[in-house]
C-alpha cells in the first residue's frame, strides 16, 4: 500500500472559484501536500496524460476541456492515499457521487467533473513523475 496520490483541480474548478474550498476539504480530510503547481497543460501533455482513453469517444472533448484553462496539480500524502482520495472525490459522474464528496459538491457533469484522482498506486507514481521533478517534491 502506497501513501501517495496525484490530483488535478480541473479547469472548471479554477474558473468557478472553487480552488480554495476544494483544497480546504482535501487538507481537512488529512492529506498532506507534498508538491503543488498552478499550470496550464498543452494539448500534447493532456493527450499523453489521458493516453489510456485515446480510443474512447469522449477523448477529444476531454483534451479540449483539460486544456481550456489552468489547473492546480498536486501530490498528496496520506495512509492508503489512492483509495482514501477516490472516496473523497466520489464517482466520475457527479450524479452518482455520494453526498459530501468533492464531485457531488463541485462538479457539473461527468465530463467537467472538477477533480482528478489517481486510480492505483502504480498510476499515482507515473502521474506524479509526469508533472513534477524530484526537486519540486517536499
Ligand atoms: N470522462 C468523460 N466522459 C465519460 C467518462 C469520463 O468526459 O463518459 C472524462 C472525465 O473528465 C473523467 C476523465 O474523462 O474524469 C477520465 O475518465 P475516468 O474513467 O478515468 O474517470 P476518473 O478516474 O477521473 O473518475
Ligand atoms: Mg481515471
CATH of the domain at 23: 3.30.70.141
Q: Which structural domain range is residue 74 located in?
A: 4-136
How large a percentage of the chain has pLDDT more than 90? 99
Residue 129 in grid coordinates = 513523475
Question: Closest by alpha carbon to 89, among 14, 3, 7, 20?
Answer: 7
Q: Using one digit for the tens of pLDDT, what is the confidence trace for 83-105? A: 999 999 999 999 999 999 999 99
> What one-character-per-residue DSSP string does 70-138 give?
-EEEEEEE-TTHHHHHHHHH--SSGGGSPTTSHHHHH--SSSS-SEEE-SSHHHHHHHHHHH--GGG--
pLDDT score, position 100? 97
Position 47 pLDDT exceeds 90? yes
Q: What is the pLDDT of residue 1?
A: 62
**DSSP label of 3:** S
pLDDT, position 2: 84
Residue 119, ligand 1, Cβ within 6 A: yes
Sign of CA dihedral 127, 5, 59, 57: positive
Domain count, the chain: 1
Q: Which ligand is nearest to the CA of 53?
A: 1
In Å, the largest CA–CA distance within the chain is 39
Spatial distance between the Cα atoms of 128 and 69, rounded to a whole number of angstroms: 20
Ligand 1 centre distance from Cα of residue 124 (Å): 16
Look at residue 26 in the predicted model and tell me its pLDDT. Answer: 98
Active site residues: 116
Instruction: Please compute the mean of the pLDDT values over residues 45-53 and round it to a whole number.
Output: 98
Tell me: pLDDT of 79 over 80: yes
Amino acid at each position: 500500500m502506497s501513501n501517495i496520490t496525484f490530483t488535478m483541480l480541473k479547469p472548471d474548478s479554477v474558473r468557478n472559484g472553487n480552488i480554495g474550498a476544494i483544497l480546504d476539504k482535501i487538507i481537512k480530510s488529512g492529506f498532506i501536500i507534498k508538491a503543488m503547481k498552478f499550470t496550464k497543460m498543452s494539448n500534447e501533455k493532456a493527450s499523453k496524460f489521458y493516453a489510456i482513453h485515446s480510443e474512447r469517444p469522449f477523448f477529444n472533448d476531454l483534451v479540449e476541456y483539460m486544456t481550456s484553462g489552468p489547473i492546480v496539480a498536486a501530490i498528496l500524502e496520506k495512509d492508503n492515499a489512492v483509495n482514501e482520495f477516490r472516496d473523497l472525490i466520489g464517482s466520475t459522474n457527479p450524479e452518482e457521487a455520494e453526498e459530501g464528496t468533492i464531485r457531488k459538491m463541485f462538479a457539473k457533469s461527468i465530463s467537467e467533473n472538477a477533480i482528478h484522482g489517481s486510480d492505483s498506486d502504480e498510476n499515482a507514481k507515473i502521474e506524479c513523475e509526469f508533472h513534477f521533478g524530484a526537486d519540486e517534491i517536499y
